[in-house]
Amino acid sequence: MAAALELTPTLGAGAACRAMGLWRGVPARQKAHVHRRTVMGPPRPQAPRPGPPLALDANERQTVLDTLNSERFADTAPAAVHATLLGEGIYLGSVRTMYRLLAANGASRERRNQLTHPVYTKPELLATAPNQVWSWDITKLKGPAKWTCFHLYVILDIFSRFVLGWLIAPRECSELAQQLIADTVSRHNVQPGMLTLHADRGAAMRSKTVASLLVDLDVAKSHSRPHVSDDNPFSESQFKTMKYRPAFPQRFGCIEDARAHCQTFFAWYNDQHCHSGIGHMTPHSVHYGLAADMRLTRQDTLDGAFLANPNRFKNKRPQLPPMPSAVWINPPPEEKTPTSEPVTCTLN
């Protein structure tokens, strides 16, 4: 600012302020301030402000606070306290004074016990082989008319991404979910105590019907946290794969059309879809232990192409993308993959 004042006689106020990055009125304001300090001298200290003559003294303020915090009036609004005391022939102060004293003492707030939401634990699930952790969810498929839809139930294995079971129904129903889970567990010969079933917090997922079934099957249940959309990432990713395909229609004419489309889609998804999350293997090959032979065949093809023309690969033998040896839902913060170990796949 002092430099701008020095440049003003030479360059002018506007150019000096632009050069210093200041507003052009700064030199004039600074000059007037210096002149005022020179003529009038330093500002005089302000006298302390006297207290209002009608204010309550210390004893009266304490009486008001003791009355408001007494057992009789602890849960009563100041306006009601004021009216009650007036009816008894007592005047301690105005309603505004009561609020002012409560605010000064940090008591002007909701004094009743507030609802405390429980702390939900973040699900941390690990799968190192098929049939260890399954994920299931329900999505809506648009029906023939506006506001109509069908409900698609899907269960998949998070390690292999294999769709184990599905059904389409006109509504979301816990009995249908129970039937689907029981049939899927029986069909895949899941032994008691070896499986964890993960889902979000929908009505069917948290129903007593499904919970009782899981207890009978000795299947551990796991749920996403409330309002956390990425605690069930594998089911959400599978739904996105289905709905973003070019063949997915805008609407289905009837529930039979939806079933026919899903039969075609899930056959393609399990047997033909080269999933990027499992080294571009098909879910069927990973779930049933066929991926190792497929990887040998693919690697032999790459080796042949490399030997035929190594310059095309810059003399570096091509390698297949790695397959995950472990799949996590919400890995612990300390969980890290050493460079010498197989790849660990995580979502979220």
Q: What is the pLDDT of residue 26?
A: 67
φ, ψ at 157 (rounded to 5°): -90, 125
What pLDDT shows up at residue 5?
Answer: 57
Q: Is the pLDDT of residue 328 over 70?
A: yes
pLDDT at 35 over 70: no
Question: Is the confidence at residue 337, as pLDDT, over 60?
Answer: no
Question: H or E segment at 85?
Answer: helix 78-87
Whether residue 142 is predicted with pLDDT greater than 90 in this model: the reply is yes
Q: What is the pLDDT of residue 15?
A: 75
| Res 343: pLDDT | 54
Specify the pLDDT at position 217.
95
125-285: CATH class = alpha beta
Rounded to the nearest integer, the mean pLDDT of the chain is: 88
Q: Residue 153: which of 244, 284, 266, 229 has the closest Cα? A: 266
Quote the pTM value: 0.67
**d(C-alpha 176, C-alpha 210), whole Å:** 10
Q: Pick from 323, 329, 293, 288: which is nearest to 130 by CA?
A: 288
- Report the distance separating Cα 276 and Cα 158, nearest Å: 13
Instruction: Decide if 269 contacts 284 (C-beta within 8 A).
Output: no
Residue ranges per domain, the chain? 2-39, 58-104, 125-285
pLDDT at 137: 97
Name the residue type at position 263: Q
How confident is the model over 246-260, as a mean pLDDT? 96
Angle formed by the axes of helices 26-40 and 13-20, to 10°?
Answer: 100
Reduce the DSSP state of residue 137 to 3 states and report it. strand
Which has more pLDDT, 222 or 229?
222
Weakest mean pLDDT among 27-31, 40-44, 339-343: 339-343
% of the chain with per-residue pLDDT over 90? 68
**Strand ordering across the sheet containing 326-329:** 125-127, 326-329, 344-347
The pLDDT value given to residue 107? 81
Put residue 289 in one of left, alpha, beta given phi > 0 → left and psi -120 to 50 → alpha: left
Q: How far is CA 71 from CA 67, 97, 348, in A?
A: 9, 20, 51
Tokens describing residue 18:
């632009």
**Residues of the chain by 3-state class (helix, strand, coil), percent to 5:** 45, 15, 45
pLDDT score recorded for residue 152 = 98
185-207 pLDDT, tens digit each: 999 989 999 999 999 999 999 99
Could you tell me if 137 and 232 are in contact, meaning their C-beta atoms sit under 8 angstroms apart? Answer: yes
E strands along 279-321, which residues? none
Does 79 have pLDDT greater than 80?
yes
CA–CA dist 259, 273 (Å, integer)? 19
User: Could you tell me the two tokens for 198?
Assistant: 């993960």
Confidence (pLDDT) at 339: 38
CB 204 within 8 A of CB 227: no
Handedness of CA 79, 81, 85, 91 (dihedral sign): negative
Residues 6+ apart with CB under 8 A from 39: none
pLDDT exceeds cutoff 80 at 329: yes
Q: Is 202 exposed, middle or buried (0-12, 13-18, 19+ CB in 10 A)?
A: middle
